[in-house]
Chains A and B, each alone.
Chain A
Amino acid sequence: MTAADLAPVSHVDPFAVEVLTDPLPFQAALRDAGAVVHLAAHDLYAMGRYAEVRAALTDWQRFCSSAGVGLSNFRTEPPWRPPSLLLEADPPHHDAPRRVLAAILGPRALRRWRDRWFAAAVEHVDALLGTGGRPVEVDGMAALAEAFPLRVFPDAVGIAREGREHLLPYGEYLFNAFGPHNELVAAGAVAAGGHAAWVNAQCARETLADEGFGADIWAAADRGDLTVDQAPLVVRSLLSAGVDTTVHGLGWVLHGMATHPDQWDRYRRDPARRRVCFDEAVRWGSPVQTFFRTAEVDVPIGDTVVPEGSKILMYLGSANHDPRHWDGPQRFDLDRDPSGHVGFGFGLHQCVGQHVARLEADALLAALADRVERIEPAGDPVRRANNTMREWASLPLRLHPS
């Protein structure tokens, strides 16, 4: 009997549009089927329970990233772009880029941006609300979740103003490309080269501003902490992983607040809730739903063995909704302690920019909390299917000034 016979089998394609846009039922079935499940549609394994996902993300020795963190196996299929030095690397290659970026994006290093971002958020929300004191209808995605990160983050990296419209579609394609070669990838493929070329051009030392994360990365190369060949790829990681993820994290906060008005009250009245708010949204919405690992050896999991060389889907979104770990996981609840969620991943590949995302969210939400009494839906939200991200294309919102 082979390992594949032993693992429970699912014939659902997790990358079918109807699953991507409504993943919770499939996630529940996956968790209930077993700790690890064989997905026949793509001949791969999947983990959906919190305990196993978290343990596997931590176990870089047996679950490697350098064979790609998407469905494609770099050992048998060439990657569509030069692999990331962070996301798609294992120790020891991963060590130096991670060390450099963790220092640049650490909570203490970010203090120099805090006041600027909070001021920018105030300006942004004030402009949106106008002076009429009347409710304002906006698309929460375009006007807030996308606009605010695009207002502060590219400046903090230090990239050119012209061409920033490439950032979101680049990320959208990148996150689609972690999945199978389905129609979502095909739809973005033609334009992807242009987006990637623009992004790559932003990573050169001479095009980056003198102050910012990009300049800090090049300064690390000058110190010898990175090679000059590595520096542009590390800058690229910021532009790849630092925009869409934050945008959709913010989308989930806004959607949570619009659909749970008591939680917005809670947020506005109790400053202690602010510490957990963004992380609860990242748990609840899990904007990054999935990443893959590759088994370095035969890995026993429960009664099953995941064979060496297999791709394993780590279902972060499912782990964050696993009732074996979370009480009432489908509730967006600021009284919950979301500590330990895997929405930023876990282990040594855990999102190195998480403190940046939290600071952006804190700035925007603080400005909204001071000015907006109520956030309510102003129409049906529109989903967008993506092979990795769980995202809103549009969130019609009505903001009631306080």
Chain B
Amino acid sequence: MSSLVVTAKDVVADGVVALTLARPDGGRLPDWTPGAHVDLTFDSGATRQYSLCGDRWDPASYRVAVLREPDGRGGSRHVHDVLQVGDRVGLGGPRNHFPLVPAPRYRFVAGGIGVTPLLPMIAAARVLGADWTLLYGGRRRASMAFLDELPPEHTTVVPQDEQGLLPLASWLGSPDADTVVYACGPEPLLAAVAAVVPADRLRVERFTTTEVAAPVREDPFTVELARTGVTLTVDASLSVLEAARRAGATTLSSCERGTCGTCETTVLAGVPDHRDQVLADHERAAGDCMLPCVSRAASDHLVLDL
């Protein structure tokens, strides 16, 4: 698995830290699009998903923002209290389930840390010359991250302790056919948005981090190449693709970053740990193929049609 190094850790609001991540060699990171998230795996073994909220024109760094969740499962506490500049984290993805669709007009609605995937969308909307506005709510002004990055003339900031709940109905009005509403935040906010926006004009993402389904492992696993009968051990230093190639399998790859799909390989047995950007969720769940340039094993043993 590729590993990133934390190059900066900044408090960006009460209870929110932003991590800047880079490759250890400072090289180019995989491309991403607004709305994308990455899976980060910490020393504790926990894997969490975070929206990328940095600048895609900077090819060498990612930025994510992490809210301290006292009632969470420990991922955010680890980031806030343990993780330090210079530490390594494992990377999966980036993948995008929340892409920005083209439209003349966007209405962005953010609740708290849900602002993160919207930041790159706003950057895109500005480049695209689209009409856009943002309605951004949070508990208190001091808990709301990135206010300084949002142009005031497009942004309505609503701290709950000052102004109460977001005035969704009046702010959204009735979105016309040229408008797409993007919303990200806690479930009650998304439900309130859905109550006033027709489904075909609305795109939402639930920002609560979900655990990645496959158990991610750092310890070695074995891969059996069915066509040659060779079994090999793959440790963290090698991709499955490279290990198979060194064992004499005929492989074909191109990007080797999990984006192009060229190395797709049939999985005959075992459970892959998907780390690519190509397969859809139902294809991942089927477990019958994988992209060995980045994906690994969740089970102790994989059998591949190589």
Contacts and interface: CB of A to CB of B under 8 A. Distances in A.
A230 B245 CA distance: 41
A355 interface: yes
Interface string B234-256: 00000000000100001111111
Interface string A338-381: 11110010111010001100000000000000000000000000
A105 to B, nearest CB: 10
A322 interface: no
A92 B127 contact: yes
Nearest to B279: A108
A82 B180 CA distance: 26
A275 B250 contact: yes
A44 interface: no
Contact of A350 (B34, B102, B255, B256): B255
Contacts of A103: 280
A354 B262 contact: yes
Given A95-B100, A107-B261, A276 B252 contact: yes
Q: How large is the interface on B (under 10, 10 to 19, 20 to 34, 35 or more residues)?
A: 35 or more
A108 B102 CA distance: 25
A59 B33 contact: no
Given A95-B99, A230-B102, A339 B251 contact: yes
A272 B230 CA distance: 15
Nearest to B262: A354
10 contacts: A92-B100, A92-B127, A108-B264, A224-B101, A225-B101, A227-B102, A275-B252, A339-B256, A339-B262, A355-B262
Contacts of B34: 92, 95
B59 A226 contact: no
Nearest to A347: B31
Contacts of B283: 108
Given A226-B101, A227-B102, 13 more contacts: A59-B28, A61-B59, A91-B56, A92-B34, A92-B128, A93-B128, A95-B100, A99-B96, A106-B261, A275-B250, A339-B251, A339-B252, A348-B31
B169 interface: no
A279 interface: yes
A310 interface: no
A262 interface: no
A141 to B, nearest CB: 26
Given A224-B180, A276-B252, A58 B28 contact: yes
A346 to B, nearest CB: 8
A340 B254 contact: yes
A376 to B, nearest CB: 26
Contact of A99 (B57, B99, B261, B279): B99
Contacts of A210: none
A350 B56 CA distance: 18
Contact of B260 (A224, A227, A341, A350): A350
**Residue among A61, A95, A346 with most chain B CB within 10 A:** A95
Contacts of B56: 91
Interface string B42-57: 0000000000000011
A228 B56 CA distance: 27
Contacts of A265: none
A42 B278 CA distance: 40
Contact of B124 (A95, A107, A272, A279): A95
B142 interface: no
Contacts of A93: 128
Q: How large is the interface on A (under 10, 10 to 19, 20 to 34, 35 or more residues)?
A: 35 or more
B261 A272 contact: no
Interface string B246-284: 000011111110001110100000000000001110010
Interface in A39-94: 58-61, 91-93
B252 A279 contact: yes
B182 to A, nearest CB: 12
Interface string A3-38: 000000000000000000000000000000000000
A165 B101 CA distance: 35
A382 B33 CA distance: 45
**Residue among B200, B252, B280 with most chain A CB within 10 A:** B252
Nearest to B35: A95
A347 B253 CA distance: 13
Contact of B253 (A61, A273, A340, A354): A340
Contacts of A337: 245, 250-252
A265 to B, nearest CB: 16
Given A224-B180, A355-B261, A350 B103 contact: no
B227 interface: yes
B100 A272 contact: no
Q: 4 nearest interchain CB pairs?
A: A92-B124, A272-B250, A339-B253, A95-B33
Contacts of B227: 272
Nearest to A99: B99
A189 interface: no
A96 interface: yes
Contacts of A347: 31
Interface in B96-155: 96, 99-103, 124, 127-128
B239 to A, nearest CB: 12
Contact of B102 (A226, A276, A346): A226
A226 to B, nearest CB: 6
Contacts of B280: 103
B57 A61 contact: yes
A135 to B, nearest CB: 31
Nearest to A97: B102
Contacts of A60: 31
A60 B103 CA distance: 23
A354 B261 CA distance: 10
Contacts of B180: 224
A341 B102 CA distance: 33
A227 B104 CA distance: 9
